[in-house]
Amino acid sequence: MPSLHLTRDEAATRSALITVHTHDVRLDLTGAQAQDASTFGTISEIRFDCARAGSATFLDFIGVSVEDVELNGRSLPVADVVDGQRIHLPGLAARNRVRVRATGRYSRSGEGLHRFVDPADGRVYLYTQNEPADCCRVFPDFEQPDLKARFALHVAAPADWVVRGNGVETCADADTGTGTGVVRHFAPTEPISTYLVAVLAGPYHRVDAEHTVATADGPLRIPLATFCRASLAEHLDAERIADVTRAGLDHYHERFGFPYPFGKYDQAFVPEYNLGAMENPGLVTFTEAFVFRTEATDAQYQARANVIMHEMAHMWFGDLVTMRWWDDLWLKESFADFMGSAVLADTGLYPGAWVTFANRRKAWAYVQDALPTTHPIVADIVDLDAAKQNFDGITYAKGAAVLKQLVAFVGRDAFDAAARAYFRAHAWGNTTLADFLAALSTASGRDMRAWAAAWLQTAGISTVSAERGGPGDTVRLRQSGADPVSGGPALRPHALVVGAYRQDPDGRLRAAARVSAELVGSSVDVAVPGSVDAPLLLPNDGDLTYATVALDPVSLATVLDRVEDIEDEMARTVCWSALWAMTRDARLPADRYVRTVARAGAAETDDGVRQMLFSQALTAATRYTPPAGRPALLKVLLDALAEQVLSTGSLTFARLFAVAAAHGGGQEELLEALVRPISDSSTFGDSVSDFSTSGSSTSDSSTSGDPTALASSGDSTALASLAGNQDLRWSVLLALAARGAISADRIEAELARDDTADGRRHALTARSARPGPAVKQEVWDSVTGDEGLSNDLLSASVRGFALIDAVTAEPFVEPYFASVADWWSDRSIEMATRLVRGLYPPVQDLTPGTDPEDHPVAVRTQAWLDANPEAPAALRRILIEEQDSLLRALRAQAAG
Residue 195, classed as helix, strand or coil, is helix
Write out pLDDT tens, residues 10-66: 999 999 999 999 999 999 999 999 999 999 999 999 999 999 999 999 999 999 999
Reported as type and span, the H/E element at residue 729 is helix 726-738
| Cβ neighbours of residue 184 closer than 8 Å, sequence gap 6 or more | 154, 155, 157, 163, 165, 169, 171, 172
* Chain centroid to CA 320: 23
The DSSP result for 117-138, as a single string, is: E-TTT--EEEEEE-TTTTGGGT
- For residue 762, CA distances in Å to 296, 700, 746, 768 come to 18, 35, 13, 10
Residue 188, classed as helix, strand or coil, is coil
- pLDDT on residue 676: 84
- pLDDT on residue 440: 98
Reported as a pLDDT band with limits 50, 70 and 90, residue 314 is very high
Looking only at the bridges linking them, the beta strands covering 494-503 and 205-215 are: unpaired
Residue 496, classed as helix, strand or coil, is strand
Active site residue: 190, 272, 288, 311, which one?
A: 311
- pLDDT on residue 714: 42
- pLDDT on residue 896: 85
Type of residue found at 462:
S
Q: Which of 455, 20, 436, 31 is nearest to 194 (CA)?
A: 20
Round to whole Å and give the CA distance between 480 and 482.
7
- pLDDT above 80 for 572: yes
Looking only at the bridges linking them, the beta strands covering 18-28 and 39-50 are: antiparallel
Residue 316, classed as helix, strand or coil, is coil
Reported as a pLDDT band with limits 50, 70 and 90, residue 470 is confident
Round to whole Å and give the CA distance between 656 and 672.
16
| Cβ neighbours of residue 274 closer than 8 Å, sequence gap 6 or more | 109, 110, 111, 129, 791, 830
Contact 87, 58 (CB under 8 A): yes
- pLDDT on residue 4: 86
Greatest CA separation for the chain: 88
* 231 C-beta neighbours (distance < 10 Å), count: 18
Reported as a pLDDT band with limits 50, 70 and 90, residue 180 is confident
Angle among Cα 349, 355, 361 to the nearest 5 degrees reads 105
Q: How many CA atoms lie within 13 A of 747 on its CB side?
A: 24
Round to whole Å and give the CA distance between 719 and 645.
8
Phi, psi (deg, nearest 5) at residue 536? -140, 120
Classify residue 34 by its DSSP letter.
Answer: S
* 279 a catalytic residue: no
Contact 465, 574 (CB under 8 A): no
Question: Is 212-221+230-280+287-450's fold the same as 463-561's?
Answer: no
Write out pLDDT tens, residues 331-363: 999 999 999 999 999 999 999 999 999 999 999
pLDDT, mean of residues 214-231? 97
The DSSP result for 788-837, as a single string, is: T--HHHHHHHHHHHTS--HHHHGGGHHHHHHHHHHHHHHS-HHHHHHHHH
Reported as a pLDDT band with limits 50, 70 and 90, residue 1 is low
- pLDDT above 90 for 682: no
Round to whole Å and give the CA distance between 12 and 8.
6
The DSSP result for 54-81, as a single string, is: T--EEEE--SSEEEEEEETTEEEPHHHH
SS (HEC) of 875-889: HHHHHHHHHHHHHHH
Q: Which of 351, 355, 326, 334 is nearest to 402 (CA)?
A: 334
Contact 732, 671 (CB under 8 A): yes
Write out pLDDT tens, residues 192-209: 999 999 999 999 999 999
Q: Who wins on pLDDT, 123 or 686?
A: 123
- Residue ranges with strand state E in 1-38: 18-28
Round to whole Å and give the CA distance between 788 and 806.
29
Q: Average the pLDDT over each of 19-28, 365-374, 610-619, 706-715 and give the range with the smallest value.
A: 706-715
pLDDT, mean of residues 879-889? 98
Please, what is the average pLDDT of the chain?
94
CATH architecture of 8-203: Sandwich (2.60)
- pLDDT above 70 for 664: yes
Contact 315, 213 (CB under 8 A): no
- pLDDT on residue 771: 97
Contact 827, 4 (CB under 8 A): no
Write out pLDDT tens, residues 527-563: 999 999 999 999 999 999 999 999 999 999 999 999 9
Write out pLDDT tens, residues 161-175: 999 999 999 999 987
In DSSP terms, 27 is beta-bridged to: 42, 155
Phi, psi (deg, nearest 5) at residue 751? -65, -35
- pLDDT above 50 for 884: yes
| Cβ neighbours of residue 527 closer than 8 Å, sequence gap 6 or more | 472, 473, 474, 475, 515
- For residue 760, CA distances in Å to 327, 342, 727, 753 come to 39, 37, 12, 11
- pLDDT on residue 144: 98
- pLDDT above 60 for 843: yes
pLDDT, mean of residues 411-433? 98
- pLDDT above 80 for 328: yes
The DSSP result for 290-304, as a single string, is: GS-SS---HHHHHHH
- pLDDT on residue 126: 99
| Confidence (pTM) | 0.95
Write out pLDDT tens, residues 429-455: 999 999 999 999 999 999 999 999 999
Q: Domain residue spans in the chain?
A: 8-203, 212-221+230-280+287-450, 463-561, 596-770, 805-896
Q: Homologous superfamily of 212-221+230-280+287-450 in CATH?
A: Neutral Protease Domain 2 (1.10.390.10)
- pLDDT above 50 for 711: no
pLDDT, mean of residues 638-659? 96
Classify residue 328 by its DSSP letter.
Answer: G
Residue 252, classed as helix, strand or coil, is helix
| CATH number for the segment(s) 463-561 | 2.60.40
Q: Is 105 exposed, middle or buried (0-12, 13-18, 19+ CB in 10 A)?
A: middle
Round to whole Å and give the CA distance between 155 and 579.
55
Share of the chain above pLDDT 90, in %: 92
Write out pLDDT tens, residues 237-271: 999 999 999 999 999 999 999 999 999 999 999 99
Reported as a pLDDT band with limits 50, 70 and 90, residue 178 is low
Residues found in the chain: 896
Type of residue found at 336:
A
Residue 267, classed as helix, strand or coil, is strand
Round to whole Å and give the CA distance between 567 and 873.
47
